[in-house]
Structure 1
Amino acid sequence: MHITQLNRECLLHLFSFLDKDSRKSLARTCSQLQDVFEDPALWPLLHFHSLTELKKDNFLLGPALRSLSICWHSSRVQVCSIEDWLKSAFQRSICSQHESLVNDFLLQVCERCPNLASVTLSGCGHVTDDCLARLLLSCPRLRALHLENCARITNRTLAAVAAHGCALQTLHVDFCRNVSAAGLRSLRAACPRLALRAEHSAAMIPDQSPWAPGTGASSRKPLLH
């Protein structure tokens, strides 16, 4: 029996055992398998281990997506975590090659994946508060949001969770140095049932610009956003 003689349910089951690249390679062999590849039911989970994977065409974003994770563990993450005003020209050039990737990708998720239930972002140093606020508004079924080492995340994300995270049950903001203890206290007061974890975040010292009002060039006091 040739693979194309299998019914659609069997083909979907077969595809489910393959990684994204293997699914794409198999889909290229004939139009019937391409049609299976494009079935939204095949894509309830998406996991990315580098930012370059976000630019590939080996996956589908659709209403069936329930779980998304982007976990980037690279030496470049350390460069992304440096405040823009502290970066050298070389470091800025490194970031310019990928700084919009995660935000642009999440905006596509907002448009295409309204049933998303879980998001994990680790090492995504350029993801912004505005982007996460948009995600919370666009995905009202979101129950779990895990953020780790996301240097741009501030108390504005916590405020967005309080305002728009109606279904959210779990929030992790680990190693997010621009989240303050005051912001965490406010969120706990606003959402007492939320399972909130913030390992090291409020204890970390954010890099404060020497041009911030009322600060000196050598000031290193934590900012309360």
Structure 2
Amino acid sequence: MKMEAVSKESESDWGDLTRELLINILSRLSVEDRWRGTKVVCKSWFSAFKEPSLHSVFDLDPLFDSPLESTRWWTPGFEAKIDSMLLSVVEWTQSSLTQIRIRHCSDRSLALVSQRCPNIEVLSIRSCPRVTDDSISRIALSCKKLRELDISYCYEITHESMMLIGKNCPDLKVLKRNFMNWLDPSQHQGIVPNEYLNACPQDGDDEAVAIANSMHGLEHLEIRFSKLSAKGLNSISQGCPNLEFLDLSGCANLTSRDIVNASSSFVHLKEIKKPNFYIPRSVFHTERYGHWSLYDERFQTDIFRI
């Protein structure tokens, strides 16, 4: 009986903590721990959980980083959960949100981001099959403080909204526009829907020209497995003179000569990752490439448990 009394008294003490102290405690927890436990403790904890300062950075990326990804992440139901989380955070932050790093969201939640989050500086939305030009165009027109954008593996985004981003976000320094390994899609098969694997954008040069014509201040550019050609790379070399880092891994349409010719224009370039394989022209259009195991950064996700 005494132990039960102590337990009840302890619970009462936790619920009676001041808001300031609760916020201090919650700020020390991981995103996962905050979302799993604090909302169900009591009203005062849930109220503290919604404190805008706790959500100025909304980063779910660590929860996806593992050698294995889940088929569940590519379902509409999981996407709806991610959207719900992001919508809640946007509602609570009252324009204080500056960084968003998530995956598998949709236009539904990003539309509200464009309305409520004008101070966003970092937007990372990898692997979002239902993010389209509609929401990215709204982001471009409303979130003009963007300095880092990751739209890797988002195949419904085109060069048109990328052009808008470049023109309306003059502080943009980092762009990550990577694609899945279309040379050897076996690592994604059975997890990523086949129709999505087969939908890799073909307009690599159009995207390169959009980048070159609108993102003159870029310092970091990743376009792994892009289908751009020497024409597109030359456009980037002329339009993005401040590039310090360039990742061309898996860009199978480029030759060593193409890269050497373009590199002379990158006067500030400190590091370039080149395609790390050789494709004989005679076999370039064959169906399968059994030997493509040489690229060094795989698309990584893990078992999401929130």
What TM-score comes out, normalization by structure 1 length? Answer: 0.67
Tell me which residue corresponds to 1:161.
Answer: 165
Q: Percent identity?
A: 22
Matching residue's letter, 1:200: F
Give the residue type in structure 1 aligned to 2:58.
Answer: L
Question: What is the identity, as a one-letter code, of the residue corresponding to 2:201?
Answer: R
Contact map agreement 1:27 1:36 (CA 8 A) in 2? no
Matches within 5 A, 1:24-35: 25-35=37-47
**Over aligned residue pairs, what C-alpha RMSD do you find?**
2.8
Moved over 6 A (4+): none
**Partner Cα separation in structure 2 for residue 10 and residue 178 of structure 1:** 53
Q: What does 1:111-126 align with in structure 2 at a 5 Å threshold?
A: 111-126=115-130
1:105 Cα offset (Å): 0.6
Unaligned runs of 5+ in 2: 1-9, 65-72, 74-78, 180-199, 229-250, 253-284, 286-306
Larger Rg: 2
Residue number among 13, 18, 26 corresponding to 2:24 in the alignment: 13
Offset, 1:39: 1.2
Offset from partner CA, 1:24-67 (integer Å, 9 cap, x none): 64233333222211211111222345424325459521222222
Residues paired across the two proteins, number: 178
1:30 corresponds to which letter in structure 2?
C
- What's the secondary structure of 1:131's corresponding residue? helix
Q: Give distance in 2, aligned partners of 1:13 and 1:71.
A: 28
Distance in 2, Cα, partners of 1:56 & 1:152: 21
Q: Trace 1:178-189 onto structure 2 (pairs within 5 A).
A: 178-189=202-213
Aligned counterparts of 1:191 and 1:198: Cα–Cα separation in 2? 14
Return the alpha-carbon distance in structure 1 between the equivalents of residues 35 and 25 of structure 2: 10
* Within-5 A mapping of 1:1-225: 2-16=13-27, 17-20=29-32, 22-23=34-35, 25-48=37-60, 49=64, 50=73, 51-56=79-84, 59-61=88-90, 62=93, 63-72=95-104, 102-175=106-179, 177-195=201-219, 196-203=221-228
Q: Is the 8 A contact 2:170 2:217 kept in 1?
A: no
Q: CA deviation at 1:174?
A: 1.0
Instruction: Give SS of 1:104's match.
Output: helix
